[in-house]
Chain A
């Protein structure tokens, strides 16, 4: 997708968001039509299961309906803001299910995925292209820890299990990796 098309899309999303803030239901449905597939892809990737992803998608759109007026450009592009809402909601649902003790199967599913490597190659490459190549400057374990947390919602404990390393080590990979990323992005 070209930058020009992306800008047009963002303008259109902004226009719809403004209308949604005024309780325009048709604009809301149009917004759903525009971004739901993208948002659902993210929820599904993160949750690793259909039903939870669907619930997160519903919740995210209900939040967008109620909070569209709180969007402002400091929060990123309209799309980025809305995807963030969906991502947080998915993480919340994943964690609250685990806390209730019925999410153990999910983590097993996630871990089984790791047999073919901890991350899809496609996502690793996509991640590297973004963030202006800064992910490439991180060590492999730093980058994989960050991407696994981001795309799969892994907690420190799950990462430690997945990467066969102590929790303290994993925490430090993430912390140092994120700081290195920021330094690079600010250059």
Chain B
């Protein structure tokens, strides 16, 4: 079939619309490979009809879709991050990934564990391999302790804020984490119960003094899953 301007025009539109099917569609794809003029016409329609796509209501896909994508592209990484994604809600996933730092989950042997410790873990900066804070919970008085190892002050006069990440719903703030000192915070009953179930903490970057809204506003720098000792 000859590529007349009329045919290019109408077949391009039908290709983009999707009503061109089967052999006719494959033949047209070959035309696209052969001719810049055909491609231009297709792109024209993709832009014009594409406006219709932008009107369709949004619908969040289940978390399993992202895990499958990771699994197909990077099978080994997906395995390591499975537990993290499983109990992380979407909005945070976005923020976390926008952060320059990499989240990591490690099983930690605290050098001198307190006999009453229950949950513990480490906040690390994966790309640099640096151990930033050690975290542990004391069973007797329900305190959570963050011991800085190589954490440095936040840039731009900002602060780090610590959060309990629930299995679902909004995170609970555990306050701004000072750098350089051991940070010890008493867990409210709610925080303790939530953490007991999710075992997940996160650190976000916030304006000085902490999030003004009560929810994370800055990038999520670290997420850590705690383990029972």
B-binding residues in A (CB < 8 A): 25-30, 32-34, 36-38, 40-42, 44-45, 53-54, 57-58, 61-62, 65, 74-77, 79-81, 83-84, 87-88, 91, 95, 123, 126-127, 129-131, 146-147, 149-151, 153-156, 159, 174-175, 178-179, 181-182, 185
Contact = CB atoms under 8 A, between A and B. Distances in A.
A130 B60 contact: no
A150 B59 contact: no
A91 B18 contact: yes
A182 B44 CA distance: 10
Interface stretch (B62-70, B151-159, B197-205): B62-70
Interface residues of B, number: 48
A179 B10 contact: yes
Contacts of B83: none
Interface string B58-88: 1111101110110011100100000000000
B88 to A, nearest CB: 11
A61 B69 CA distance: 7
Given A76-B46, A130-B51, A182-B9, A54 B18 contact: no
Contacts of B95: 33
Nearest to A152: B18
Given A76-B43, A84-B50, A178 B97 contact: no
Contact of B58 (A38, A76, A146, A147): A38
20 contacts: A32-B69, A33-B94, A34-B94, A37-B60, A41-B57, A42-B56, A45-B57, A57-B65, A58-B72, A80-B54, A95-B22, A123-B56, A131-B48, A131-B51, A131-B52, A149-B17, A151-B52, A174-B19, A179-B10, A182-B13
Contacts of A40: 58-61, 65
Nearest to B12: A178
A83 B17 contact: no
Contacts of A123: 55-56
Nearest to B90: A33
Interface string B76-119: 01000000000000110111011110100000000000000000
A75 B47 CA distance: 7
Describe B's contact surface by its main secondary structure.
helix
Interface in B15-56: 16-19, 21-22, 40, 43, 46-56
Describe A's contact surface by its main secondary structure.
helix
Contacts of B53: 42, 80, 83-84, 87
A37 B61 contact: yes
Nearest to A72: B43
B14 interface: yes
A185 B68 CA distance: 40
Contacts of B47: 75-77, 80
A150 B17 contact: yes
Contact of B55 (A33, A81, A126): A126
A65 B13 contact: no
Contacts of B60: 36-37, 40
Given A41-B59, A127-B55, A149 B69 contact: no
Given A30-B98, A75-B46, A83 B66 contact: no
Contacts of B90: 33, 37
Given A34-B94, A131-B51, 8 more contacts: A29-B66, A33-B97, A57-B65, A80-B54, A84-B16, A129-B55, A155-B21, A174-B14
Contacts of A42: 53, 56
B52 A75 contact: no
A76 to B, nearest CB: 4
A25 B52 CA distance: 30
